[in-house]
Amino acid sequence: MRHRLRDPVTGLLFVLPVLVLFLIFRIFPTLGAAGMSLTNWNIGGEWDVVGADNYVRLWNDPNFWASLRVTLVYAAIFVPLTVLVSLGTALLLNAVIFMRGLFRSMLFLPYVTSFVFAGIIWRWIYEFDGLLNGLLTKVDLGPVQVLESSSLVLPALAVVSCWKGFGYSMLILLAGLKAIPGSYMEAARVDGASAWQRFRSITLPLLKPALFFVLVIETISSFQVFDTIYVMTGGGPAKASYTLIYGIYERGFRFFEFGYAATWGMVLFAIVLAISLIQRRFLGRGNT
């Protein structure tokens, strides 16, 4: 018994520091938010238990449903765009032989910059007299008020977030590509398979675990978007970029309704968890 317990206990000791941090900064705050959502906690620290009143209020709150719609539309734009860009750049890097490390560092560089810095740069690009409109004017297609258009603001923000964050997913997919045995590709070439046939029949099936992981983390990221919106649009124009996280920020730090803000947060947590489980059920079979 002592021999059988030695390895699990040793492994537990190695992960214990991270486990403690996870409990302190993840599990306990989540449980605290769940409890706070059942109160009317305010900025003075005063609170009373109100039970499910906050959830009833949220159900009848048009701002919540509008922000949920905006978040879903943003996710529907951002997630496919980021997965495709990450996959494309990973395939290109996998094919590069000369100066691969330099190209990988250059593509990963936006990921280590701050969202605030990225938002300021892209806000200048999108401005009426910015770089984008300067280029569009030269080809008689502009100027376009991107951040002032309700129909263009979400795609524009998705592009910014994709540029900022695709580097991480690119590295995950590149690692998945490196794990594919080269003998498979060589055998396919000998059999006369084209590049598309090799990608469809070999690369894509063997890359499914990495793709599933990337899809899940990018979906979660899309529901947590805040920094870019705070810096670039402030939820506008006319709340066209008013996401769930921005709604939580307003309820908590503008109106100081911490209990109600926690209610928004718990519903967001449930939505993200449900979507992740659905993705695992239908897309992650045998891939995790």
- Ordered per-residue pLDDT tens for the chain, 288 residues: 666 666 777 878 888 999 999 999 988 988 999 999 999 888 777 888 888 999 999 999 999 999 999 999 999 999 999 999 999 999 999 888 777 788 888 889 999 888 888 888 899 999 888 888 888 888 887 788 888 889 999 999 999 999 999 999 999 999 999 988 888 888 888 888 888 888 888 888 899 889 999 999 999 999 999 988 999 999 988 899 999 999 999 999 998 999 999 999 999 999 999 998 888 887 765 554
What phi and psi values does residue 39 have, to the nearest 5 degrees? Answer: -130, 175
**pLDDT score at 274:** 93
Give pLDDT, residue 284: 62
pLDDT of res. 1: 60
Residue 281's pLDDT is: 83
What's residue 192's pLDDT? 84
The answer to pTM > 0.85 is yes
Closest CA to 36 of 282, 271, 264, 281: 264
Q: What pLDDT score does 103 carry?
A: 86
Burial class (CB in 10 A: 0-12, 13-18, 19+), 207: buried
pLDDT of residue 152: 92
Cα–Cα distance measured from residue 27 to residue 256, given in angstroms and rounded to the nearest whole number: 23
Residue type, 13: L
Write down the domain spans for the chain: 52-283
* 1.10.3720.10, 3.40.50.1100, 3.40.250.10, 2.60.260.20: CATH of 52-283: 1.10.3720.10
